[in-house]
Chains A and B, each alone.
Chain A
Amino acid sequence: MGSVYRARDLHFPNVVKLVAVKEMVNTAPDPLVRKTIVQNFEREANILATLNHSAIPRIYDYFSESDRSYLVLEYIHGKDLEAVISDTGGFLPEEQVLTWGILLCDVLSFLHNHKPDPIIFRDMKPSNVMVDHNGEIKLVDFGIAKTFQSGQKGTMIGTEGYSPPEQYRGEATPVADLYALGATLHHALSRRDPRMEPPFSFAERPLRKINPAVSAEVEAVVSKALEYNPEDRFSSASDMKDALLAAAHKTGILSKVSTTSISKGNGIKPLWTFKCEDEIRGTPLNYKNTIYIGCYDNNLYAINAADGKFLWKYPTEGGIVSKPSAYEDNIYFGSEDNRMYVVSARSGKVVWTYFTDGPVRSSVRIAEGHIFVGSDDQYLHAVNLNTGRLAWKFETSDPVRSTPFVANELVYVGNEMGDFLAIDFRGNLKWRFRAKRAITSSPTTSGHMIIFSSLDSTLYALDHRNGFIIWRFRLGKGSISSPYVSDDMVFVGAADGFIYAVEARTAKEVWRFRTEHQVSSSPVVYKDSLYCGSVDGYLYCLEYRTGRLRWKFGTEGQIVGSPLVYDDIVYVGSTDHQVYALLA
């Protein structure tokens, strides 16, 4: 633990001579520990004092003062490579990284050929490389050079992610430094920090897959430096330098062509389309080979799932934005005319209606002989499925647009104030959780967790029994997209335009996929694909384990509702007034 100060050398009163003073505070309470630390510090000073190379900072002095030790070093105007990588918006230019690689090979070669004994640097990584204002590089922090002892239990010196396998076993050789240099170059070219990945996993992250601008030649050199077996790597720093030079020479004449371009995708022909009178913002339902979907033209449509032929429509007096539900040959849905309707699936004739005091934008949930539905009248309504009579309603003090979820004998629902409620079947509050902004999305479960997203830019996982937060996952912007759980992964869209895949156990991001506009649609997984719409007008089909794009299909409007996949066919509505049926 220590700091580095910029200081002025007062031996030269007439000029400003800047030096770097590296301070190490010895906070260890144990005297033996303290002694070891001071010895390490002095070792660094002694190594540096004997070295004379333009890429190694010169040492002027060292001293200890009570519990602090100091090294006085050449001051370097610039910043370290780790900061350079993270401060650069996109990828660093390949030529630039290549130049640094060649310079680093030079200085490693100098250290490895040191007489009488070679010096192994042992901690090559971006934060130990300073880039000065002239673009020259300096190797800093010789704190652990040469201190390696092999064979001891638990020994680990170096930095996880950059160190080669043999270094964990206590074998440090010049080739180990070359591995770490390979890891450093990989980090600089890919922007992927190896400390965040499992050790020795570079082969799983080929450079050109992450940064297609990298040439095949440079990728080959970096891969060779990162070979698992030391004997498969470059045998010396000068060999690696030659390889980098050769790559630089080749790529200088190679014109770089980006090879990745994704087909615009509208080669895909829908099986059928169906045109309504107004925007479609709802989600379709498939029930007995019929597609039911609500529309802003106030109608609920019944369409033949096989050929898209119109069967019937039922007119309400308001827009329909939710997803219908089916139960025993009846279709249940809410409308912005404040009512919930029950119509016959076959004939489209109304069976009964139920009034609330506000637009119904929540979808209907049928469970335990009841219909649960939210309304902008701020209530969660529980209605008897057979009689159509109110069993109870629960006041939430803000509109309820989230679709209730029923599990573990509780009804879970969010409201526009950001309250998340767990209510038992008698209509009593079991527990309550408050997000910072509206919860419009509909909850789902995974194991013992209840998962939902909020406009406060967070995906929440709560303990379903007591509302304790198990994890939170930060989204780029707010979300009204309902999460979907499959295979221990949670998928959700957000207003930042991304579709996210998060591990349900750890809340770690698995992948994210960028669309061109906000994602209000809720993702759906079918077989090994994920389907999701975006306000950019496209329906996306992604490989759900990796987030790789399989295809996308453009509509003339926005897709804000969610797709439905049934029998290898995807159904989705768009604000271009159309319902599309596509081969999944």
Chain B
Amino acid sequence: MEFFRKLFGGRAAPITETVTTAPLTDQQIQSILYSKNVQFDLQQLVAASGQSVGKQRELNEDSLFALTTTLAGNSGSLPLGLYIIADGMGGHQYGEVASNAAIRTVAGHIMRKFQPYLFSLKPTPPEESLQEIMQAAVKEAQKTIQNEAPSSGTTLTAALVLGQQVTIAHVGDSRAYNIYSEGRIEVITRDHSLVKRLEELGHISADEAENYPHRNVLYRALGQGEILEPDIFTVAFPQTGYLMLCSDGLWGVVAEQDMHRMIKDAPTLQRACQNLVEAANAAGGPDNISVIIAQLIG
């Protein structure tokens, strides 16, 4: 050792005190994040998700799918994301069979449509519209559920993000929210539940709706009925905000303003999801909880 020290210029012996290394704390991460104010010159789509069986159920009947990627092409690349939440109906047995089938079929159908664009260069966009692709995916899922678990049902809320547009397919009472950075939080789906319909018709007030005994009864669900009319629409991605999908295990127990605060205060999307799930469990966790949050940065 002495020999080498001499050879390379006689430096002092290294400090041998023990230095403990540890992962950065949340505060540290937060301060780094805020000091840097994450910016990309190209838009980046990022997403995180969280799930819990809840405190009062033994079985998870929710299913979740989240995929984030980039569609690379010659004239630039586009953010592509597919986010799905399905909540199997507990009153029917095999809710989890239905929600699983829904996720698999819908995601499979949509990803097959995008496969030619993801892995090879196609000069022309698909001939089908995004809304038609979503419609066909839901129809296929309806068939699959009727085959694999007849008379069972599930909710389905699927969001296809392409560029700055979000195309939503929705059945049941899971929800999609636009959450804006200034604090506005907006439900962009319409619950297909009896209680919501009664509220729309003015038969009960919003307050009565909160305590309505049949809050969970749906009038439209995937797998039920022969004709299924999913809500399909396209909206702009909330720039400088978040897109959130969740099952009623979250929105039924955590107030909107609390959701907004938790997302805004969390250092990362992943932590935001975790905090939301924990809040739902802290409020009793009466149902399965699923949440996905996506953000378009840049």
Q: Name A residues whose Cβ lies closer than 8 Å to a Cβ of B.
A: 1, 27-30, 32-33, 36-37, 40, 127, 152-156, 159-160, 165, 168-170, 193, 195-196, 198-200, 228, 430-434, 447-449, 461, 463, 465-472, 505-507
Mark interface residues in B210-221 (1 if CB within 8 Å of A CB, else 0): 000010111111
- On whether the beta carbons of A160 and B220 are closer than 8 Å, the reply is yes
* Minimum CB–CB distance for A432 against chain B, Å: 8
Which A residues are CB-close (under 8 A) to B104?
Answer: none
30 residue pairs from A and B, CB less than 8 Å apart: A1-B146, A30-B94, A30-B149, A32-B93, A33-B94, A152-B90, A152-B92, A153-B90, A153-B216, A154-B90, A154-B91, A154-B95, A154-B221, A155-B92, A159-B226, A169-B194, A195-B227, A196-B229, A228-B203, A461-B129, A466-B75, A468-B125, A468-B126, A468-B162, A469-B128, A471-B129, A471-B131, A471-B234, A506-B131, A506-B231
- On whether the beta carbons of B217 and A463 are closer than 8 Å, the reply is no
Question: Which one of A40, A228, A471 has the greatest number of beta carbons of chain B within 10 Å?
Answer: A471
Which B residues are CB-close (under 8 A) to A228?
Answer: 201, 203
Contact check: which of B124, B127, B152, B220 meets A33 at CB < 8 Å?
B152
Which A residues are CB-close (under 8 A) to B162?
Answer: 463, 466, 468
- On whether the beta carbons of A37 and B151 are closer than 8 Å, the reply is yes
Inter-chain CA distance A47–B97, complex, in Å, is 30
Q: Chain A: which residue is nearest B212 at the CB level?
A: A169
6 new A-B contacts, CB < 8 A, other than A37-B150, A472-B129, are: A155-B91, A155-B217, A156-B153, A165-B198, A463-B162, A466-B162
* Minimum CB–CB distance for B82 against chain A, Å: 14
* Minimum CB–CB distance for A122 against chain B, Å: 13
* Minimum CB–CB distance for A437 against chain B, Å: 14
Q: Chain A: which residue is nearest B234 at the CB level?
A: A470
Interchain pairs with CB closer than 8 A, number:
152
Stretch at the interface among B10-18, B163-171, B264-272: B163-171
Instruction: Give the residues from 42 to 98 in chain B that come closer than 8 angstroms, CB to CB, to chain A.
Output: 75, 78, 89-95, 97
* Minimum CB–CB distance for B184 against chain A, Å: 18
Inter-chain CA distance A37–B93, complex, in Å, is 12
Q: Chain A: which residue is nearest B164 at the CB level?
A: A448
- On whether the beta carbons of A507 and B131 are closer than 8 Å, the reply is yes
Which A residues are CB-close (under 8 A) to B201?
Answer: 200, 228
* Minimum CB–CB distance for A327 against chain B, Å: 31
Question: Which one of B127, B197, B219, B232 has the greatest number of beta carbons of chain A within 10 Å?
Answer: B219
Contact check: which of B78, B217, B224, B226 meets A466 at CB < 8 Å?
B78
- On whether the beta carbons of A28 and B150 are closer than 8 Å, the reply is yes
- On whether the beta carbons of B236 and A448 are closer than 8 Å, the reply is yes
Instruction: Give the residues from 109 to 167 in chain B that come closer than 8 angstroms, CB to CB, to chain A.
Output: 124-132, 146-153, 162-165, 167
Which A residues are CB-close (under 8 A) to B219?
Answer: 156, 160, 168, 199
* Minimum CB–CB distance for B243 against chain A, Å: 15
Q: Is B225 an interface residue (CB 8 A)?
A: yes
Which A residues are CB-close (under 8 A) to B194?
Answer: 165, 168-169
Q: Is B233 an interface residue (CB 8 A)?
A: yes
* Minimum CB–CB distance for B138 against chain A, Å: 14
Inter-chain CA distance A165–B203, complex, in Å, is 11
- On whether the beta carbons of B197 and A1 are closer than 8 Å, the reply is no
Which A residues are CB-close (under 8 A) to B283?
Answer: none
- On whether the beta carbons of A463 and B163 are closer than 8 Å, the reply is yes
- On whether the beta carbons of A33 and B149 are closer than 8 Å, the reply is yes
Which A residues are CB-close (under 8 A) to B164?
Answer: 448, 465
Which A residues are CB-close (under 8 A) to B227?
Answer: 193, 195-196
Given contacts A33-B150, A448-B164, A470-B234, contact A434 B130 (CB under 8 A): no
- On whether the beta carbons of B126 and A469 are closer than 8 Å, the reply is yes
Inter-chain CA distance A154–B221, complex, in Å, is 9
Given contacts A168-B194, A200-B201, A228-B203, contact A154 B217 (CB under 8 A): yes
Q: Chain A: which residue is nearest B193 at the CB level?
A: A168
- On whether the beta carbons of B163 and A468 are closer than 8 Å, the reply is yes
- On whether the beta carbons of A433 and B125 are closer than 8 Å, the reply is yes
Given contacts A30-B94, A153-B91, A448-B165, contact A470 B131 (CB under 8 A): yes
